[in-house]
Structure 1
Amino acid sequence: MPTTSNPAIRNLLTLDGAVSPAGPVRSGEASPAVAADRPITLDDITVKTLAVFAVLVASAFLTVFLELGYLALPALFAGMGLGIFLALRPRPGAAPALLFAAFEGVVLGEATQFFDALHPGAGTQAVLGTGCVFAGMLAAYRTRKVRISAKVTRWAVGAALGLLVLLLAELVAWWGFGADLGLRDGGVLAFGVSVLMVAAASFFLLLDFEAANRLLRSGASHRWAWYVAFGLTMTLVWLYLELLRLLSYLRWW
């Protein structure tokens, strides 16, 4: 069965013993803390994901309302650092997921304000677009309209890594040599890169749904629902930012 390319979800599924079934507790053999453990459910994932997104939206709103855009760069690096840490060393608690959402909310709030200033309405359209893509991918997964094969998964991961290398090369060329490779300048090449990014992020949602489904079937502890929410947030934040950029390109043409 294929695994997700999202490192957060992938590492969760490969943890040694972390996702072992939360077995039944015999009377008198477990402490209250252990006895309170139970298998993860779809309601757990739904509620925790909604909580993480509530923090994300609140953070973005406060960033715009209180004019905290100057915190976007520190929040970007803090969010990246926390995201990498959680991807490499998964944690099932609420605090890391909610803190990550707070950092990313600052980034999203400033990015939305920036693109909205250039192209009014871009933020609203990106929100609607992200919601539609999420709903469409969820429907495609539930109805099995899209088959998640190992071959397709490898292709998607390879394509995403290739795009990431290209974007890193763009940053190095720009900061180090003042050169523009044309990957983010609004031209035809930049438009194509953004389309591929949106497609990759959309496909990664399918992989994340599959990973969450495997987690449900495995009977893992309900505490890992927070980590599932964190992994989904990573993908959706990426999708939203790429849609913002893609919409800005369409406005330029």
Structure 2
Amino acid sequence: MNSNNPFLNNKTFSTAVSRKDNTFNAVTIDDNQDMTLSGTINRSLILFLLLIASATVIWWATSNEILNPIVPIIGGAVVGLILVLIASFKPEYSSYLAPGYALFEGLFIGGISVIFEAMYPGIVTQAVGATFVTFAVCLGLYKYKIVKVTEQFKSIVIAATLAIATYYLFSWVFSLFTSFVPVHYGNSMMSIGISVFVIVIAAMNLFLDFDMIEKGVQQRMPKYMEWYGAMGLMITLVWLYIEFLRLLSKLSKK
């Protein structure tokens, strides 16, 4: 089974192995050209810092009414999606695409955060804290093998994630052309329950990401896969943060 994260899937990792095997026929590859856990962690930190820097600039610009937050939200989302799609097909370019994704995703995050903070003061700090705590807990559970990523576990998480994506897509399309109001809108108990469920699934995707990165290191993937893995992990964290913003905003209306 593949990770639902398009960046961290078996097909991509298998392709990377194949490319590396072909390289072995021509030259000898040393350990410095292999994917490592420390290297992936370092790349993840770099992407995180780039995202924070970009988001901070947008936060300052929009808070001082220099820029309309809608502009970076749309621009960051569109360009970020394009970079994701390119990297999905060309992972060998991840060392260039991943930093670009972090910067543009920072524009999106910065704009969204400003809007939520204006509506619900203090919500951004809460969402950031909740995201970090969730990440730390999931990492600890995975590291100490309290949660094991089995094939059945993968199947459940992937099925749930696909169901959520399908629901969000159809709800958005119907709301555009009809008077349909999605169930997850508003602050009803049903809406809050859906948000909690989505957050749980997003958190469970972190386990899949950890597992695929670990397997990539064990299989000695090419060095550029460190950027690829870090980028995939960043996608999940951004999703988790957005879902926490949604949940906290619903709870603030109570």
TM-score normalized with structure 1 length:
0.89
| Amino acid paired to 2:36 | T
**Which of the residues 20, 37, 45 maps onto 2:40?**
45
| Amino acid paired to 2:45 | L
Aligned length: 247
Deviates more, 1:114-123 or 1:78-87: 78-87
Q: Does residue 1:230 correspond to 2:225, yes or no?
A: no
* Preserved contact between residue 19 and residue 220 of structure 1 (Cα < 8 Å): no
Shift of 1:83: 1.4
Structure 1 equivalent of residue 12 of structure 2: 12
RMSD (CA atoms): 2.3
Structure 1 equivalent of residue 209 of structure 2: 208
Percent identity over the alignment is 26
CA deviations on 1:189-208 (whole Å, 9 max, x unpaired) are 22122111111110110111
* Preserved contact between residue 20 and residue 218 of structure 1 (Cα < 8 Å): no
Deviates more, 1:38-47 or 1:236-245: 38-47
Shift of 1:185: 2.2
| Amino acid paired to 1:125 | Q
Q: Secondary structure in 2 aligned to 1:15? A: helix
Deviates more, 1:48-57 or 1:176-185: 176-185
Deviates more, 1:76-85 or 1:107-116: 76-85
| Amino acid paired to 1:155 | I
Q: Does residue 1:171 correspond to 2:135, yes or no?
A: no
- Structure 1 distance, partners of 2:121, 2:180, is 30
* Preserved contact between residue 48 and residue 229 of structure 1 (Cα < 8 Å): yes
Structure 1 equivalent of residue 139 of structure 2: 138
| Amino acid paired to 1:191 | I
* Preserved contact between residue 91 and residue 224 of structure 2 (Cα < 8 Å): no
Structure 2 equivalent of residue 54 of structure 1: 49
* Preserved contact between residue 87 and residue 94 of structure 2 (Cα < 8 Å): no
* Preserved contact between residue 17 and residue 221 of structure 2 (Cα < 8 Å): no
Shift of 1:16: 5.4
Shift of 1:12: 2.8
| Amino acid paired to 1:49 | S
Structure 1 equivalent of residue 94 of structure 2: 93
Pairing 1:113-192 to 2, within 5 Å after superposition: 113-192=114-193
- Structure 2 distance, partners of 1:30, 1:165, is 45
CA deviations on 1:69-112 (whole Å, 9 max, x unpaired) are 22211221221222133224423432100111111111111111
- Structure 2 distance, partners of 1:200, 1:121, is 25
Pairing 1:72-91 to 2, within 5 Å after superposition: 72-91=73-92
CA deviations on 1:46-83 (whole Å, 9 max, x unpaired) are 11111111110011001111224222112212212221
Q: 1:5 to 1:136 in 2, by over 3 A?
A: same
CA deviations on 1:143-168 (whole Å, 9 max, x unpaired) are 11112111121111111111111111
* Preserved contact between residue 23 and residue 38 of structure 1 (Cα < 8 Å): no
* Preserved contact between residue 63 and residue 109 of structure 1 (Cα < 8 Å): yes
Shift of 1:235: 0.4
CA deviations on 1:211-253 (whole Å, 9 max, x unpaired) are 1110111112222111111000110000000011111111111
